[in-house]
Structure 1
Amino acid sequence: MARILRTALVALACIGAWLPAARAADVRAWLDRDTVQLGETVALNIEATGTGASAPSFDALKNDFEVMDPSSSSSVNIVNGQATAKQLWGVSLQPRRVGRLTVPALAVAGATTQPLSLNVTAAPAATSGNEEIIVELSADPLTPYVQQQVSLTVKVYVAVNLSDYELEPLQAQGLVIQKLGQGRAYDAERGGRRFRVLEQRYAGLPEKSGTIELPPLKFRGRAISGNDPSAMFFGRGRMVSTQSQGVTLDVKPRPPQSGDGPWLPAQTLELSAAGIDASAGGRVGEPLTLTLTARAQGLGFEQIPELALPAIDGAEIYPDKPTTRTRDNGTWIFGERSRKFAIVPTRPGTLHIPAITLDWWDTAKDQPASAIVPAQDIVIAAGVAGAAAPAVPPAAADTPATTSPAPADAAPVSDAGPWRTLALASFALWLASVAIAFWWWRTRAGIARVATPTRTNDSTATLGSRGAFARAASGGDARKCARALLRWAQAEGIRATHLGELAAQLDSPAQRDAIEALQRACYAADGAGAVPSQTAAAFAPGFTRRSHVAASNDDAALPPLWPKSSRR
């Protein structure tokens, strides 16, 4: 009886210890923007795992915010047979004052959220109160360095119902423009009038120093009356139009104190190394794998130079093919370049891997900076006598390697007689049959390959743009060549506003490699790069497109006025 009682008490204690953890759900809170103007609304979202939790109280927010439009939803996700339930609460917050405001920690589902910070700026000068549509174009900073990211924001304020609308695309000579994330829609008050606001952000990269003009953006739409619900279906309504103010950028050249290396104007830049444990040591002939990665905020991967290791005394270095990507968080672009290196020690002792430095320009502090991977010392033991030589990484085939002589005491290879000859001959015949079958299959499949060169449009515009590219490719200006290539692609019906978008739609590795080389030439020291030699040859047969690239409205200049076409 006593034993049963002890077991029951232990079980109750375990359950008691588990229950508080079960009640405390994982919660998180976030704002859809971190900077707003006075009069605008911002969405606060709170998510908690589990079900049955009560809605959080928003009373603590009412001193600094007007709390509006509360909503809630729940969902269940099943992954590998395991269900995860989540609850989501959302409210719209309208700040009551200018300044740095804090959304305090809120209690929900037995846990608390993290405090959030919101920057509230003054609203622009009040309008006359009669405007139905207002378009604003802003840029930050207005005096960037060449190749530094400029944050471009387009806002359209709408005070009437629209059946359709369009905004001219954002473009400027000498400025590479890239859309950032999806557009936002929210409410704002201007001059005592309520507006629906459509916002889209872009990244602009100046290609040259000097003055760059962003022309006014023109907006056109069809306003309909709320008393005529059929107007939107029959094209009735009155036309409305307006335009923004233009913006002027005064682009500064590369400063002399930045040095002679690659020009990297970034908000942040890190250089890291992984894969080698110095305390574990190494052995002669056994490769050590080092992964070198550079990440930059405010730069595309094309602007980051190729990563390389300095010569290492007592080791051979075999670089792998680099991996690259550029992503964005709706405000910044983030470029990343990574590369693996196989370091093969050639003698015992201490292997010294020198420090690796990448110089860059800190645009936040307006001063030079350096990202450094510290040097490492690794103790290398002698190789095992008679051990097989390690395999050289495939990507190192174009890197000269040293062949070590066989040990003096290695046993001679015995003669296997005619059976070995027969086996090798049979294997060779089998390989030949496989190769012939593969060639036959490729020949048959070639008729219906999904990646086929784009049929050349015979229009004058297409022929002219193709000829302009050929002339630019034979010249010495990488930027002119890039612009000509984009104009040709657009004439062929390819929707691409910058080289990265174009490369993503091409199936030919040679054409994608040529575009990457052209991008790197465009971002050479202050744009003085020459056209890479492979550019013209890669595009001689025309564009080889991926057939699975589907058309979408992701590149729309503005988000929907109302989510899922719903009307307020």
Structure 2
Amino acid sequence: MTGGSRFATGARWSGFLGLWMTALGLPVAALAQDVGARAFLSAPQVGVGRQFVLNVEVSGTQQLDADPVLPDMEDFASFLSAGTSTSIQIVNGRTSMAITYQYRFQALTEGTFEIGPVSVTVGDEVVQTEPVTLVVSDAPPPPAAGVDPADPGAAIGPDDLFLETRVSSNRVFENEPIIVEYRIFTRVPVQSYAITTLPQATGFWTEELEQPAAPQAERVVRNGSEYLTATVRRVVLFPTGPGSKTLDPLSVEAQVRVRERSVFDPFSDIFGRSSLFDQRVPVVVASRPVTLEVLPLPSADRPRSFAGHVGTLGVSASVDRAAVETNEAVTLTVEYSGTGNLRTLAPPEIDFPVEFETFPPETSERISEGGGSLQGSRSFEYVLIPRVPGELIIPGIEIAYFDPASRQYGSARSEPLEISVTGDAVEGDVAGAVPTAVETIRDEIRFIHVGTPRFRRVGLPVYATGVFWLVLLVPLAAVGGAMVFRRHRDRLEGDVAYARVRRAGRMAKRRLARARGLAGGDPREFYAEVAGALQGLLADKLNIAEAGLVREEAGRMAVRRGASPETLERLFACLDDCDRQRFAPAGTDRESPERVLERAAGIMEDLARELSR
């Protein structure tokens, strides 16, 4: 019997195996078996960006106190997920058992690599596996090159499912926008997909483009084969410096529906529809790196006001009032409009007349995709307060830019603005409120609370007071509470299931507190403790062994007990994230420990509440 998920099945079956052996008249001692371990790969050769599975089989036991310790593989592989399966065999009256840990990785670098020994601790004994060799090649692996025939995803080749990167141009100027589109192509049934690894945008300013909630799929023909394709991600990149730059691969994990060949489904054979015995197989694909050539901006004819903007620009300036009294606020609005990386435009440096008191500008922007770039406007609003009457002039604003289409510099300039100020000159400090610049003064007077006082009657008999009844009933309540508490204690000692359910929340919070203490240390220990707190809470609430049930069965049991599918989805996603972070390379960007703890605490609170109903 086998089963796979984050939860091992060994603890559950080991409890029933002795009874089953006794019923068959076989000695339970026949379970005795020497402990051993071996490591093997799902395939000795994989392509760059494809996935492979490192299997660690431990024979002679069905449960380990600690997970196997893997060697460092971050130089050539990225961890994806982990699972377990168990097996029991009876041959000639002798029973053998084994537990297999399955670690999925994505191959990153071409070459031949040795995966070092895996350490497995069983009791006081430490067992190590033999090293295995992995070949990562850009060429497709030869047919049947050690591929496990039992693997349902073995038949999915590089031409069946792949990811492609499309760029608007491979040769651009510094700070010139590049639209990058990642598309998935498939000719196998894909139920869903998710991005697992985002490329490092070193040397680029990145702007994400909006994606529809349900990507639009379309059918295309490539090399004589029909594919279904959809856009996975779209971004605009602005190179921040000249030179040769490389776009790293983007990785996607797709859930592919694969039919179980060993199971006969007459309805599928007759009607040609999806089989009842289809499996969902995770398949990881990655795009190929793309090399870009970034040209430096020409130094000839560069305007003095040029600040690095590449695209087109226009500038306008306006005031809300052209005639005001002294000490009245005027709003000056400066708007840049055009194409390119508008978010990096800094507020203009304006030489205001000394008669104005000025305040820092407030910024607003309207930016969208268009014309193969980003387009829109960025505005700055200044609050000006004239202190002296007269005809005051705000000088024009000039800004320069480089147009990559014409390969020439250009500039734009706004017209000067004249403001007529009347009234008397203001001397010294000025009191009064200034919009958006001076804080509103709060009321400083607190009124005395006026209300009718409460009266009570005097001369009441003792039995008519609340104190009398309180003194009379408190001893009775204490006796009743003691009886309930004693019954609760007796049940905790005699009913294991009741004790686990009652103590589940407290034990999970204790483990989460231990994880908080590990937040600044080894990430592996931190994420392992967070995962243990979540997994232990679910196991205690369902009264099962922590490693005793596959995920699907645990989910069904939890739903029957009142847990919502949304909460379970958050729980399993958090467990997957913890597994992925435990094996992530040292330099990987991780979610902050405070955020992870907050997320885990929210899941624990919702799960405990739902399973207690």
Q: TM-score range by the shorter chain?
A: 0.3 to 0.5
Q: TM-score when scaled to structure 1? A: 0.43
Max radius of gyration: which structure? 2
